[in-house]
Amino acid sequence: LIENRCGILHGQKVVTDLKVTGYQGHDVTLLCQYINGNTEDKILQMQWTWQNESSKYEIMDFSMDHGLSLHDTFLKDRVHFRKSSLPIYEASIIIKDVKMSDQGVYSCAYTTFPSGSHTGQTSFTVLEGT
């Protein structure tokens, strides 16, 4: 696993890895953390999406009102939050048994009130397993 960790930039709310390289058949963790500099902000929902040149899918979301929703995608049976008891500000995911088709750009987005939406992205590259 090769990671390029993103530092916290001025005003940044969502911390992700800019680039992650994983190996086919192995597991990979994609980081997503919400940094709340404004204590008045309330997290309403967080959402993971995946996209490549031709497609975009909503993978999963978590809302304070409705809980966790895993969408019916190619990742449904292989993705879960890293922590079983989810603190909403730490929403990193693990993808099990990585496939070549998992390669793409993953976005982790938080919807907050009153400051709005904040997103971080990770470019995920898959190499053949060793």
- What pLDDT sits at residue 109? 95
- Portion of the chain with pLDDT greater than 70, in percent: 86
Q: What dihedral angle (degrees, nearest 10) is formed by the CA atoms of 95, 99, 102, 103? A: 120
Q: Are 60 and 86 in contact (CB under 8 A)?
A: no
Question: Over the stretch 64-123, which tens digit does the pLDDT of each residue have?
Answer: 888 888 899 999 999 988 876 556 788 899 999 999 999 999 999 999 988 889 999 999
pLDDT at 43 over 80: yes
- The Cα–Cα gap between 2 and 104 comes to 15
- The Cα–Cα gap between 80 and 129 comes to 21
Question: Over the stretch 46-70, which tens digit does the pLDDT of each residue have?
Answer: 999 999 999 999 999 988 888 888 8
Amino acid 65 reads D
Could you tell me the domains of the chain?
A: 2-127 (2.60.40.10)
